[in-house]
């Protein structure tokens, strides 16, 4: 069952059922929620006089607002440039680099033989190359993204030594 946030109506029901002396397990059943969800909600939002509906809603709104990422593309010139280059299948990182705004300091790659010459790569790109641990793909997000972009044009198994690349 997908997670959904507790609503103000559910908070009112929690307060009413607590005032009636209902147990958290009964409240959870009534609201079709897990008992730990109800327990956390009550513990997080109780005051000296018990569960506080308005405090709970204010806290929830605040947590929700703080959880959102700030906009990274507020500069209209960079925003327009990135959007125009995405249609050329450039990644936004490449687009921002061409505009120097986001220099590349490190590169994390997998342990494939294609990176045997990583020292030359470090020198050419002027950045440090790191190797991800085996079976930990999240350590090499740029590598996975680049693979996806390459597969749009070059099928898996393509011999890259036979392809001439244009370096900007």
Query: What is the model's pLDDT at position 103?
Result: 56
User: Given a cut of 50, is residue 159 above it in pLDDT?
Assistant: yes
Q: What pLDDT score does 92 carry?
A: 52
Residue 19 contacts residue 32 (beta carbons within 8 Å): no
Burial 69-96 (b: 16+ CB within 10 A, else e): eeeeeeeeebeebbeebeeeebbbebbb
CB 80 within 8 A of CB 96: no
pLDDT value of residue 130: 86
pLDDT at 70: 66
pLDDT score of 20: 96
The chain-wide mean pLDDT, for the chain, equals 81
Higher pLDDT, 92 or 64: 64
Give, in order, the Cα–Cα distances in Å from 157 to each of 32, 99, 134, 147, 164: 50, 32, 21, 12, 16
Residue 168: predicted pLDDT: 47
Per residue in 65-74, pLDDT (tens digit) is 888 766 666 7
pLDDT at 94 over 60: no
- The whole-angstrom separation of Cα 28 and Cα 17 is 10
Calculate mean pLDDT across residues 69-97: 68
Six-digit token string for 30: 């009534």
Non-local (6+) Cβ contacts of 16 within 8 A are: none
pTM: 0.44
- Token output for 126: 């002027």
Q: Would you say residue 102 has pLDDT above 50?
A: no
> What are 1-42's pLDDT values in tens digits?
566 889 999 999 999 999 999 999 999 999 999 999 999 999
User: What is the predicted pLDDT for the residue at 76?
Assistant: 80
């Amino acid at each position: 069952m997908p997670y959904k946030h507790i609503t103000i109506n559910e908070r009112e029901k929690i307060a009413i059922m607590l005032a009636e002396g209902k147990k958290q397990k009964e409240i959870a059943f009534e609201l079709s929620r897990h008992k730990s969800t109800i327990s956390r909600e009550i513990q997080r939002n109780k005051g000296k006089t018990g569960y506080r509906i308005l405090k709970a809603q204010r806290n929830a709104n605040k947590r929700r607002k703080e959880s959102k990422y700030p906009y990274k593309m507020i500069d209209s010139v960079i925003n327009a440039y990135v959007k125009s280059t995405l249609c050329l299948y450039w990644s936004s990182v490449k687009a921002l680099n061409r505009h120097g705004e986001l220099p590349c300091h490190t590169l994390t790659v997998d342990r494939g033989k294609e990176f045997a010459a990583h020292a030359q790569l470090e020198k050419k790109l002027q950045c440090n190359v790191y190797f991800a641990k085996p079976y930990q793909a999240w350590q090499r997000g740029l590598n996975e993204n680049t693979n996806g972009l390459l597969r749009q044009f070059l099928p898996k198994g393509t011999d890259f030594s036979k392809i001439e690349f244009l370096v900007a």
